[in-house]
């Protein structure tokens, strides 16, 4: 049976990492109620969702396909108690390489996820990265030489998630916040995009509040 993401679906790692994000968030503290947590015991190690939200992600790959979990014994009781509010409609989705691309990830998403994987795996030095504005989207990694080249531009990326990852990488690697318009949200359709943009906004906030004051104020005497 094909797995489908609906408003009655629960993806445990998205629930867990967004729960942790909301509790630790500077911007969203006491504004966005945290979802019920799912214990790490029930989480996969190499989900692309974990890679998006876990700053300490250390796996050397990621998976993105999901199946409907039909074995009740594999679903935490706390999740079952909540899901049963929607009898006959709920789905508990678990990571499985034989499953389906329920989040509808596209080629640009995979390109930027691959770039994010290199960043998560320790390629954080700005001198190792080259960002080249290009209408042709690709990522070239030479981990032996420590050289990483991302061919992309914000306006030519075709998906919201890829745009958000692009903004995140430019912020974290280049200290570049110039492309983000905080008057207009990038995400507007899917839950994972909205969650990741909330995470990104928090990163922008922390970056701006921790900058050297000389970058914020003109301290020259008039």
Q: Tens digit of pLDDT for each residue in 7-22? A: 788 899 999 999 999 8
Cα 79 to chain center, whole Å?
22
pTM: 0.89
Domain ranges of the chain: 9-95, 107-213
The DSSP result for the chain, as a single string, is ------TTEE-HHHHHHHHHHHHH-SSSTTTSPPPPP--GGG--SSBHHHHHH-TT---S--B--EEE---GGGS-HHHHHHHTTSTTT-EEEEE-TTSB-TT---HHHHHHHHHHHHHHTT---GGGEEEE--SS-EEEEETTTTEEEEE--TTT--SHHHHHHHHHHHHHHH---TT--TTS-S--S-HHHHHHHHHHHHHHHHHHHTS-HHHH------
Cα 16 to chain center, whole Å?
13
What mean pLDDT is predicted for residues 50-58? Answer: 95
Q: Tens digit of pLDDT for each residue in 115-143? A: 999 999 999 999 999 999 999 999 999 98
Q: Tens digit of pLDDT for each residue in 136-179? A: 999 999 989 999 999 999 999 999 999 999 999 999 999 999 89
Say if residue 159 is exposed, middle or buried (CB neighbours under 10 Å; 0-12, 13-18, 19+).
Answer: middle
């Amino acid at each position: 049976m094909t797995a489908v993401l609906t408003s009655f679906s629960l993806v445990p790692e998205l629930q867990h990492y967004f729960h942790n994000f909301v509790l630790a968030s500077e911007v969203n503290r006491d504004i966005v109620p945290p979802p019920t947590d799912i214990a790490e015991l029930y989480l996969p190690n190499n989900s692309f969702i974990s890679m998006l939200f876990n700053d300490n992600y250390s796996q050397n790959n990621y998976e993105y396909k999901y199946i409907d979990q039909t074995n009740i014994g594999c679903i935490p009781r706390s999740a079952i108690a909540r899901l049963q509010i929607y009898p006959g409609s709920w789905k508990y989705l678990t990571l499985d390489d034989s499953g389906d691309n329920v989040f509808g990830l596209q080629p640009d998403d995979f390109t930027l996820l691959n770039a994010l994987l290199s960043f998560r795996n320790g390629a954080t030095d700005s001198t190792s990265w080259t960002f080249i504005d290009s209408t042709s989207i690709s990522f070239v990694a030479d981990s032996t030489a420590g050289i990483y080249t991302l061919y992309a531009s914000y306006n030519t990326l075709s998906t919201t998630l890829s745009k958000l990852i692009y903004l995140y990488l430019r912020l974290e690697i280049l200290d570049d916040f110039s492309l983000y318009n905080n008057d207009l949200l990038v995400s507007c359709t899917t839950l994972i995009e909205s969650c990741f943009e909330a995470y990104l906004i928090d990163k922008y906030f922390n970056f701006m509040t921790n900058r050297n004051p000389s970058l914020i104020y003109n301290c020259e005497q008039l």
